[in-house]
Homo-oligomer: A and B are copies of this chain.
Amino acid sequence: MILVNGRAADSVSAQDRGLAYGDGVFRTLRTEAGQPLWWPDHYAKLAADCAALALDCPDETELHAEVCRVAEAGQGVAKIVLTRGVGARGYALPQSQATTRIVLSAPLPDYAQDTAAVEINARWCTLRLGRQPRLAGIKHLNRLENVLARAEWDDPAIFEGLLCDDSGVVVSGVMSNLLWISHGELFTPDLGLCGVAGVARTRLLRAAGRRGIRTHIDRFPPAAILAADEVMICNSVIGLRRVARLDDKTWPAAGWTETLKTALYEEVD
């Protein structure tokens, strides 16, 4: 089911700026029994991303109700796309903006089922992310780098590709954030120059703080990953997964993924 501006529909204007320029933001989230998981975090991120692009963000209650309307009965995935709406030709912002709001659902993919293996295999991508501090961290609709990076492999045994930026530091997975444990401390790349700062990553950083796990958010070389005790990827649909293999490097489980996975799902006021 798809809602466009609150009405059941399957299409948007061919002149929408989301299509013309990728001028918008999105969220992909998990639903359980008709309710969005981690909703306050998702709405907060959506509002922050809208603010960064000077987009009007829809009212939280209205958007929550729409996600519930489209949600699958059991477990599922919901996607929210917000664009700057239909505009005149040209890059200039429209005189009066009317955000286009698309809310849709899909069944939970096999790889995101609770029964899916917690261990995954990854590879390094050859594509290097460009650095753009004005767009970094935002889950915007300009995702051609992700499309090109994901097209680098079609081996179904490879679950995720890891990306560096053009200065050679590690950024993230193609569809996930990256974190690792070394000597009992948590490390994750700084996303001030590129990448998407996902809600699962934010929740894990908060949870680590609650548990007194020291965290480091900085620029790290690929060698930092290879030297880690345990490497993980996360996003709102798959939750947390342990990287058991990265090209030729393998890691045995060290127990951190289970600990952090429990922490990821904690709801704390």
Chain A contacts to B: CB under 8 angstroms: 2, 4, 9-23, 26, 28, 53-54, 77, 79, 81, 83-84, 89-93, 102, 104, 106, 109, 127, 129-132, 134-135, 140-151, 154, 166, 174-175, 194
Contact = CB atoms under 8 A, between A and B. Distances in A.
11 contacts: A4-B14, A19-B141, A21-B143, A21-B146, A22-B143, A28-B89, A92-B151, A93-B151, A127-B134, A135-B148, A142-B142
A15 B154 CA distance: 22
Nearest to A84: B147
B109 A134 contact: no
A230 B203 CA distance: 55
Nearest to A144: B142
A151 B92 CA distance: 6
Nearest to A104: B14
Nearest to A83: B19
Residue in A20, A129, A154, A174 whose Cβ sees the most chain B Cβ within 10 Å: A20
Given A92-B150, A134-B148, 19 more contacts: A10-B14, A11-B14, A12-B12, A14-B104, A16-B19, A20-B141, A21-B22, A22-B141, A79-B89, A91-B143, A91-B149, A92-B151, A93-B147, A130-B130, A130-B135, A130-B194, A132-B166, A140-B144, A142-B143
A99 to B, nearest CB: 14
Contacts of A79: 89
Contact of A14 (B12, B77, B127, B131): B12
Contact of A11 (B11, B106, B148, B175): B11
A155 to B, nearest CB: 12
A194 B131 CA distance: 11
Given A12-B12, A14-B11, A21-B22, A89 B102 contact: no
Contacts of A129: 132
A192 to B, nearest CB: 13
A127 B53 CA distance: 13
A207 to B, nearest CB: 27
Most buried by B among A26, A28, A143: A143
Contacts of A12: 11-12, 14, 19
